[in-house]
Amino acid sequence: MEFNAGTGGFCVPKKSDYILLISSLTLLTFAALFILRSADDNRLTSWQWVFEDVSVLKVYPILIAGVFISYLLSKIPAPGPYPALCLFILSFILAVPYWGAPEVIVDSSRYFTQAKHLEVYGIGYFLREWGRGIPAWTDLPLIPFLYGLIFKIFWESRIFIQIFTTALFSLTVVLAYLTGKLLWDKSTGFYGGALILGIPYLFSQIPLMLVDIPVMFFFSLSIFTFISALDKGGAMRIIFSSLAISASMLTKYSVWLMLTVLIVIFLVYLIKAFQPPSPSPPPVKGGGTGGDNPLIRGRITPVPLSRRIGIEWRTILFRGILILSVTALLIGVIFLYKSDVFLGQIRLLAAYQQPGLKRWGESFTSTFLFQIHPFITAAALYSAYAAFKKRDMRYLIAIFLPALVVLLQIRRIRYVMIVFPMLALTASYGLQQVRDEQLRKFIVLCIIVSSMTVSAFAYLPFLQNTSAVNLKSAGKFINSLDINKAEVFTKTDAWSPVNQAVSVPVFDLFTAKKISYHYSPGAVPPKDELSKSPFRFAWEYKNPAYYMDKATDGKTAVVVISENAGYQPDFAGKYRNYRVFRHSEGVFQHRTFVTVYYN
């Protein structure tokens, strides 16, 4: 801000001043988070852990260079004629480097096991035996079914799962754009989709064989298709919306609570239908009423045609009831077919998982300041003020889910992930108050650059150094050996938090060799301790029959998976060589060390 001697006052800051301010805040924010990293209690990618072996003196220059590149890119017109394609390609390319991360969350063993049943025994067997002959714990069937189809159509390789989950992540970014465009305008939608890339935690989840990224996609799809069907109607839109909501309900039980947003969408559209049609806004000279200040956006957002002419409330009511009725019919048929399984899972969720979430939670400080870029959180908070000033009821659709997370104190980030696209839309809504397009673009690019710097140079190296990488490395090593089969043994100690038997499917994911598992009962925690353990499923898990082939034809190698790197049973009489995989990050209590014996 400069002093004007002629008027005796201060001039409005120039654009260059704001560029400098945003650049400084970007760098200072990273420095502040690094200094205060002990406040991050995330269970997987806490800043306390990921920066333990990373020199900030190496990361900071990268971030500075990224801010400079962001400034150069902010001068380029965007999003161009194909914003959806641009977002898809950009998000996919940025996610690919993370495919090298190991399977760091043991839950992946469940989804792999369920999927492999479909691959080995067929679709009919999966549909009949899921939840019975195929243990399902508290998982719903859609995502394991899709993973199994991928194995069946292509072959059993992790790369195809990663291509699939990355494509769903990129499609989620596109859906955020389309939803924002439908509710407001192209700019709000485009920056909403782009801001999802400002959430570094997501990049740690994309390469994993879990359900969270696919759940986020199907949930976002259900929101977009429901809004589209209410807004535009048509038989195909109504059917597609019902199918999307049904699919979303078959991904994860936590989605059922979040789908209450559909009621909010329905009520907003119903209330809007009772209001008189909005007139077309008059043109505003210069694109706004905010004077020369580029941080105040005063233009009136164009109202979509359907809002200007109005939609009769009976039409909205009919469309909403029809969609929900078709959805209820579809889900009802599936529920009746597997009612015993679903009811058993719901009882387990109520008795075990719901109370457990209070013990396994993470702070909102961690989620909304460290795992999500603070600029996104700040813009989302400001958006509430901006929407209140405009009396914009459509904003309730976007803010409902983040507000629900806070009100219900849902503190486990893996349960919060599905609301991130709507959080990004609220942040984009707040950023729309910045009138200058280049400044808006520069802020978003700084957010993305910061996110990518943290995830690529701190999160990814940390994940690649966890003990989970031993299963990946051992699997690749086994592939290089001239053998027909790997005989796998597990050793679970009395102090182990996880039954090592669940490591066998993860090891199988990384090797193309046939596996023969030799069951060895290990120590089991006391019953009262087990009932509260976040890894309870691991102790109730049993490896399936397809690992029980004990035929000894051809060359074999022995693989020993244990919690103790020094545990080496004596196979010297049969095997001349052995190799130990013992990487460890020194943070997590659960560790997997692997020893391979071979000739």
Instruction: Give the span between the Cα atoms of 347 and 353, in whole angstroms.
Output: 10
Nearest in space to 42 (alpha carbons), one of 334, 364, 277: 364
Whether the CB-CB separation of 265 and 397 falls below 8 Å is answered with: yes
Residue 134 is given by DSSP the state B
Q: Is the distance from CB of 442 to CB of 194 less than 8 angstroms?
A: no
Q: How confident is the model at residue 284 (pLDDT cuts 50, 70, 90)?
A: very low
Residue listed under structure tokens 């989804």: 111
Q: pLDDT-derived band of residue 308, with 50, 70 and 90 as boundaries? A: very low
Q: pLDDT-derived band of residue 295, with 50, 70 and 90 as boundaries?
A: low
Q: E-assigned strands of 263-409?
A: none
pLDDT digits (tens, 9 = 90+) for 342-382: 999 999 998 887 777 777 789 999 999 999 999 999 999 99
Tokens 């400098």, residue located: 20
Any idea which residue has 């990355």 for tokens? 166
Question: What DSSP character marks residue 13?
Answer: P
Query: Residue 430 burial (CB < 10 Å; 0-12/13-18/19+)?
Result: buried
Per the structure block, which two tokens stand in for 321? 């009831």
The model's pTM = 0.91
Domain ranges of the chain: 3-75+82-277+306-464, 469-598
Residue 53 DSSP class: T
pLDDT of residue 549: 77
Q: pLDDT at position 277, please?
A: 60
